Amino acid sequence: MTGNRGRWPKIDEERGIEDVTLLILEWLGEQGVNATIRMDAERLADNAPAWTFAASGGPLALGTRADGRTVRQCMSVALTRLRDAGLSVPF
74's enclosing H/E stretch is helix 71-84
pLDDT in tens, 29-48: 999 999 999 999 999 999 99
- Count up the domains in the chain and report the number: 1
Answer yes or no: is 89 within a domain. Answer: no
Answer yes or no: is 4 within a domain. Answer: no
Answer yes or no: is 1 within a domain. Answer: no
Range of the domain at 40: 17-84
Answer yes or no: is 77 within a domain. Answer: yes
Q: What is the pTM of this model?
A: 0.80
Answer yes or no: is 12 within a domain. Answer: no
What is the pLDDT, as a whole number, of residue 91?
79
Answer yes or no: is 7 within a domain. Answer: no
The residues facing 66 across adjacent strands are: 53
Answer yes or no: is 80 within a domain. Answer: yes
> From the centroid of its chain, how far is CA 20?
9
Answer yes or no: is 10 within a domain. Answer: no
